[in-house]
Amino acid sequence: MREGYRLNQTMLHTNETLHLAMIYSAKEVHDFRFIEEKLILGLKRLSEKLSPTSAS
């Protein structure tokens, strides 16, 4: 998970400091590609929530 975040952290375009915690809670062990896909999906969702043009 750490490597997946390191490779994709630029998806979060913000000037603010963020403190993130990610917890792997699956019962089975997944491969890197699967974890990276889910991590990217989460980063996209977070980026949308943090964007100034967000309606929320």
**pTM value > 0.75:** no
Q: pLDDT tens string for the chain (56 positions)?
A: 888 888 888 887 767 788 888 888 889 999 999 999 999 998 899 888 887 765 55
Q: Which residue has the tokens 């980026």?
A: 47
| Structure token digits, residue 52 | 């100034």
Please, are residues 39 and 8 in contact by the beta-carbon 8 Å criterion?
yes
* Cα 40 to Cα 11: distance, rounded to the nearest angstrom: 8
């929320």: which residue's tokens?
Answer: 56
CA pair distance 41, 13, nearest whole angstrom: 15
